[in-house]
Amino acid sequence: MKRICMALLCAVMMIPMNAKTLVAYFSATGTTRAAAEKLAKQHDARLWEIEPTESYTAADLDWRNSQSRSSLEMNDPEERPTIKRCTDVTPYDTIYVGFPIWWGICPRIINSWLDNNEPQLQGKVMIPFATSGSSGIEEAEDYLRKTYPALNWKKGLLLNKR
Write out the residues near ligand FMN by the rule CB under 6 A: 27-33, 61, 63, 70, 100-104, 131-135
Q: Which is nearer to ligand FMN, 16 or 104 (CB)?
A: 104
Between 10 and 142, CB nearer to ligand FMN: 142
Q: Report the SS3 class of residue 130.
A: strand
CB nearer to ligand FMN: pick between 45 and 101: 101
3-state secondary structure of 7: helix
Q: Which alpha helices (DSSP H) does 23-157 contain, by range?
A: 31-42, 69-75, 108-121, 138-147
- Comparison of 101 and 114: residue with beta carbon closer to ligand FMN: 101
In the complex, minimum distance from the CB of residue 87 to ligand FMN, in angstroms, rounded to a whole number: 18
- With H, G, I as helix, E, B as strand and everything else as coil, classify residue 5: helix
Quick check: helix, strand or coil at residue 158?
strand
Shortest Cβ 71–ligand FMN spacing (Å): 7
Alpha helices in 55-125 (DSSP H): 69-75, 108-121
Determine the Cα–Cα distance for residues 129 and 63; give it in Å rounded to an integer.
21
Q: How far is the CB of 62 from ligand FMN (least distance, A)?
A: 8
Q: Report the nearest approach of ligand FMN to the CB of residue 42 (Å).
A: 18
